[in-house]
């Protein structure tokens, strides 16, 4: 069984037992959270697609850890204008362990 969930402005296809990194969620490590924005639920060839959400469907997940991703380097330059700008960014993330899919 799998589900398509929406969190942090992105969509993820998840199954029971998977680990995935999502945008940072304000929850403690070890805390169980319920994601109710479920866009689709599938079981083999059978699939239920919401308009836009599947009513009554939820996904429970446990917070495994918090962290920061790899550094993304931004470099801007204008040729012949003596302009260079360097910048870096590290995005915060939350790692989730998918526990169950109810739908």
| pLDDT mean values, one per 10 residues, the chain (103 residues) | 96 96 97 96 93 95 98 98 98 97 90
DSSP 71: P
Closest alpha carbon to 49 in 40, 57, 37: 40
pLDDT at 99: 97
pLDDT at 44: 87
Burial class (CB in 10 A: 0-12, 13-18, 19+), 73: exposed
29-53, pLDDT tens digit by residue? 999 999 999 999 999 899 999 999 9
Quote the mean pLDDT of the chain.
96
Q: Would the pTM count as exceeding 0.75? A: yes
Q: What is d(CA 22, CA 87) in angstroms, rounded to the nearest whole number?
A: 23
């Amino acid at each position: 069984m799998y589900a398509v969930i929406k969190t942090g402005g992105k969509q993820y296809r998840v199954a029971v037992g998977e680990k995935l990194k999502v945008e940072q969620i304000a929850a403690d490590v070890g805390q169980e959270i319920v994601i109710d924005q479920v866009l689709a639920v599938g079981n083999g060839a059978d699939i239920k697609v919401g308009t836009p959400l599947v009513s009554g469907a939820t996904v429970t997940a446990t917070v495994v850890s918090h962290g920061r991703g790899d550094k993304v380097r931004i470099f801007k330059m204008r040729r012949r204008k003596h302009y260079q700008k360097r910048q870096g960014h590290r995005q915060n993330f939350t790692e989730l362990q998918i526990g169950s899919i109810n739908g």
